Structure 1
Amino acid sequence: MSYTKENKTDVDTSVSPIRETEITNSGSKGWFGDFKDSFKPAVVEELDPNLTDIERANILSARSPLHRNLKPRHIQMIALGGSIGTGLFVGSGSALSTGGPASLLIAWGLVGIMIYCTVQAMGELTVTFPVSGSFVQYNTRFISPCWGFCMAYNYALQWLVVLPLELVAASLTIKFWNSTINSAAWVAIFYVVIVIINFFGVRGYGEAEFVFSFIKVIAVIGFIILGIILNCGGGPKGGYIGGRYFHDPGPFADGFKGLCAVFVTAAFSFAGTELCGLAAAETHNPRKSLPSAIKQVFWRITLFYMISLTIIGLLVPYNDDRLLGASSVDATASPFVIAIKNGGINVLPSIFNVVIMVAVLSVGNSAVYACSRTIASLSEQNFAPKIFGYIDRQGRPLVAVCFTLAFGLLCFLAASPKEGEVFNWLLALSGLSSVFTWGSICFCHIRFRRALSIRGRGTDELAFSAQAGVVGSYFGVLLNVLILIAQFWIALFPVGGSPNASAFFQAYLTVPVLIAFYVFYMIWKKTFLLYLRADQIDVDTGRRDLDLDLIRQEIAEEKAYMATKPFYYRAYKFWC
């Protein structure tokens, strides 16, 4: 069966060969001249003005002049430890206090299974369509432009707010050692570090995340080994602990309601897991590097979340007073630090606080990357002013990066007495953003498989297919809906509190904001198209490999090669 394009336009929808800098005059202009020229716009091809918004978005995302400078080691380390931050290191403390150790394992376990299914679905889509904007653009392609508009702004808002929050959080970690220095001074230092990293382009982001993630991975592995030793009585204080705290004070703190509250914290701690998919368009060879990186997420969930949280539940009782009343960035409230202190080790808490500071900076760095690429994608989809789609000759979405960094200047509110109130409401704007993002990724995968099916095509043309299949995506959609329902209940009737309008909107403001986006889009575009039919979905634009017969042959050869290998090798390749 020969391959023919189904997208009826007079424009070549394959990826444009224009990727790198186009310099009109030969030779180098010297380092300063080359540096100055790097900020000039990348050369892109003009498009047919008669294209629809969806066709235009699909083609622009495929032809984006973003540079493919991320290597497999960058992608794998981003997938393995990229988004591990305060949600795990500090937020798990409040979750332990609210729900108890059993709730911790149940909530993180179920959310972890959902994340695994979601990342697998995202991997199938991003390997097939490694386009600019990735899953942000898929919403427009596979669901509807209206939903794509809402989800893109939802995701951009999430990271736009996270940047100043994380910069303030990084400055507050210093108070662990010295509380006399004004936080604004440390904020300024960390802000400059983030600016420098991101002006090196995607390579700067990749190298920084490689280092940050490596530190976090080593720290968590070290804690797991130390935790096992302490639990067995090998610490300075000695004494076997075992499962004592699962019996007294017990496995659950507030029953089913406490468990529901922990679900929300668990979802927050996994935020950013999807970043390896967002980087697909800037990966040198996504077909080779992304599948391996996607599989690493299983080990992140199993090793860094489930095992470390099991040890936390064994070493820290949920009624420990130090878990209560501290801010979400206070290292003294970290159950990791509390566990080490309980073991009688004096030096390690300071070392782990350094890890928490690195984790916070890592998330701040990722915020600039994610927000800038999302804003650029909004411009490509004609959802934002054209200037935000400006990409320079170094492949940097320059205007989007500058806009994100400018918003990050809100970090200097750290010197204001109203800082807490302002940031609480800013965070409320996108508090449930990740839940909507994950649910949309799963639904995009379901729609993609449906669009292939009605064309008589299947997974034999996919270089990577989700190990959990469409069933995993249905589970992902279902669990995300259940998390939204649980959050609504907890927001309306807080654990240990009474109904409060301010607390409700701080927990659930994302939903009315999305409704406002939906209404605005329908008025702006004067359209009520809420859902694309499967036969309207474009399943070809943006593929880097357009010879489907060749892909099928290569996939068949790979399967035949794997069949000749022993079981242990096949098992290793399945999980790694």
Structure 2
Amino acid sequence: MASKDPEKEAHDVTTSDSPDLASPHVINEDRLRRALSARQVQMIAIAGTIGTGLFLGTGRALATGGPASLLICYSIVGFIVFVTMLSLGEMAAFVPVAGSFCTFAGRYVDDAFGFALTWNYWFNDAVSTAADLVALQLLVQYWSDSVPWYALGIAVWVLIVLANIINVKAYGELEYWLSLLKVATIIVFIILSIAVNVGGNIGYGYIGGKFWTAGDAPFVGGIGGFASVFVTASFAYGGTESIAITAGETRNPARNLPRVVKNVFWRIFLFYILSALMIGLNIPYDYPGLSTKSSRTSPFTIAFQMAGSKAAGSFVNAVVLTSVISAGNHALYAGSRLLYALGSNGHAPKVFTKLTRYQVPWVAVATTSLVAIVFFSLSFVGSGQVWTWLQNIVGVSNQLSWICIGISSLRFRAGLKAQGKEHLLPFRNWTYPWGPIVCVVLTSFIVLVQGWSSFSPSFAPVDFVSFYLELPIFLLMIIIWKLLKKTEFRKASEMDLETDVYTKEDMEPPQKGWKGWSKRIGTWLCF
């Protein structure tokens, strides 16, 4: 007979590996430690979405697609990410494990599917780290072209490796403060952009919407230019979904992850859409240095220059530089945890599960960082061009992840329904079933058309590879693993919906008194 109290029944669900899910005060030396606070998790979510793609990628998007393409494509991708986060939050709150949506793909669809997705996303994070290191050189060119192309990148690489290998608290704290600085910069930028648009600038006067009709605007480059902005937007939003990767090291994930999903995205979405709108209004698509193969200037820096302050422009460029460091720090963290998950699931050698005394997967961190520095070394051929290629690869990888999350969500719900466990969900995706379906169909369409510019007006083989390289590799990995391991499609009635489920007994009791109130206020400010 079903329980009369579904909430109580949900809390009574047991786990086959309870030490891993225990209170942060109970430590299992063989597993990752739940040491990230709600404050840090919230800012990590922001760091994953506000990074190189927004501060630097919007310049390329404006130059290649025009102001209307910039706004429309960023809005469409924002909608996809919103639905994806709702689907992911529902699963991660129920089963908070390291590897998150990659683990879900294997558990609810097919082990070969999870294998391919996890390796794909690990590669995504390694390349993202490299792309952020390359972006540093582009930003430094704002001040000088004489800085060696490798010096700053290597220095930052050492910094983020140390932050990730010391302990997870060091990573979380660094990410928190860098993210806070980025949020403040975005707010100032939006306010300043409004002032610039109505006349608070040097040499432009009242701008209004005149740049939306100047030259080839509002759409530049035709359908090819419009379609190419999708991959730039996907690169910019990429990282939002990786917040669920922190589930294995987050305190009270059943309570904190839904908060992240419901509250953070709206702020990020607001930042992206308003920023895209103001950039398109205030900066002409043919602004010198906005997007070339040799250099790129952040639209955020240009806006402060237009306001008449070279010093302010330098300050913002420095802030943008710190945001790139933050994005690289986050990508290295996510990539190392996925490599740890690969080792734990038998998809990679067990050596990647080795932990330090502070329960940090040091072999996974070292391996991911080495791959990143190898890709970074390719920037000797021209940092601007390499950054574009890396951005395309990462953008497509992000899109594949969103498609897989949508498919996993549909299968997850099918399993819950088949086993009569839908009432156990601590957080529900209110867009199910249409949300995941729209996400899968729309993203699949975007993946196919966004490389239009590599075909027209002439075929560009290198660009074509950067747009479509991920697709055959992903399919090939599924086929090879399925043939080698004889994996089977997960039947809804046979899905594992018990292991790693988070329970009430695992939750940290709320603090009382002034400490409890101070934590609530701090968490609310972050949200």
Shift of 1:385: 0.6
Shift of 1:455: 2.4
* Residue of structure 1 equivalent to 2:477: 517
Structure 1 residues 455, 411: closer, same or farther in 2, change over 3 A? closer
Matched, 1:168 2:134: yes
The range that moved more, 390-399 or 357-366, is: 390-399
Q: Per-residue deviation at 1:312?
A: 0.7
Query: What is the DSSP-based 3-state SS (H/G/I as helix, E as strand, rest coil) of the residue aligned with 2:150?
Result: helix
Contact 2:135 2:387 in 1 (8 A): no
Question: 1:91-490 residue pairs with structure 2 within 5 A?
Answer: 91-237=57-203, 239-249=205-215, 250-327=217-294, 330-332=295-297, 334-410=298-374, 413=377, 416-417=380-381, 432-458=396-422, 460-490=423-453
Q: Deviations over 1:384-438 (max 9, x none)?
A: 0111112333121121112122323326726845878887777776551110111
Larger-Rg structure = 1
Distance 2:461 2:202 in 1: 48
Change (3 A) 1:22 1:400: same
In the alignment, structure 2 segments of 5+ residues that lack a partner are 508-523
Larger RCO, structures 1/2 (Cα 8 Å, 6+ apart): 2
Per-residue deviation, residues 46-87 of structure 1 (Å, max 9, x unmatched): xxxxxxxxxxxxxxxxxxx11111111111112234332221
Paired amino acid for 1:466: N
Query: 1:160 Cα deviation (Å)?
Result: 1.5
Provide the rounded CA distance (Å) in 2 between the counterparts of 1:419 and 1:356.
17
Aligned 8 A contact 2:93 2:502 in 1: no
Partner letter of residue 71 of structure 2? L
Structure 1 distance, partners of 2:116, 2:494, is 20
C-alpha displacement of 1:102: 1.4
How far apart are the structure 2 equivalents of 1:78 and 1:351?
A: 23
Residues 293 and 382 of structure 2 are in contact (CA less than 8 Å); yes or no, is this contact kept in structure 1?
no
Identity of aligned residues (%): 36
Residue in structure 1 matched with residue 44 of structure 2 by the alignment:
78
Give the direction of change, closer, same or farther, for the CA distance of 1:402–1:100 in structure 2 (3 Å limit).
same
Structure-1 separation of matches of 2:420 and 2:363: 43
Query: What TM-score do the two structures reach when normalised by structure 2?
Result: 0.87
1:542 to 467, 490, 500: 500
TM-score by structure 1 length?
0.80
Contact 1:331-1:337 at 8 Å conserved across structures: no
1:540–1:119 distance in 2 versus 1, CA, 3 Å: same
Deviation digits for residues 251-306 of structure 1 (CA, Å, limit 9, x no counterpart): 22234332212112111111111121110111111122212211233323432110
The answer on whether the counterparts of 2:15 and 2:501 sit within 8 Å (CA) in structure 1 is: no
Q: 1:514 corresponds to which letter in structure 2?
A: F
Q: Secondary structure at the match of 1:176?
A: coil
User: Which deviates further from its counterpart, 93-102 or 369-378?
Assistant: 93-102
The number of residue pairs the alignment matches comes to 500
Provide closer, same or farther for how the CA distance between residues 75 and 481 of structure 1 changes in structure 2, counting only shifts above 3 A: same
* Deviation, structure 1 residue 207: 0.7
Q: Secondary structure at the match of 2:218?
A: coil
| Partner SS for 2:450 | helix
1:238 CA drift (Å): 6.9
Cα drift, residue 156 of structure 1:
0.7
- In the TM superposition, what is the alpha-carbon distance from 1:377 to its structure 2 partner? 0.6
Letter in 1 for 2:270: L
Q: 1:326 to 1:416 in 2, by over 3 A?
A: closer
The answer to whether the Cα contact below 8 Å between 2:131 and 2:390 also exists between their aligned partners in 1 is no
Aligned residue type for 1:309: A
| Structure 1, unaligned runs of 5 or more | 6-10, 24-41, 45-64, 551-572
Greater displacement, 211-220 / 335-344: 335-344
RMSD (Å), alpha carbons: 3.0
Note if contact 1:87-1:266 (Cα within 8 Å) is conserved in structure 2. yes
CA deviation profile, 1:176-196 (whole Å, cap 9, x unmatched): 223223232222321221122
The residue aligned with 1:13 is: 16
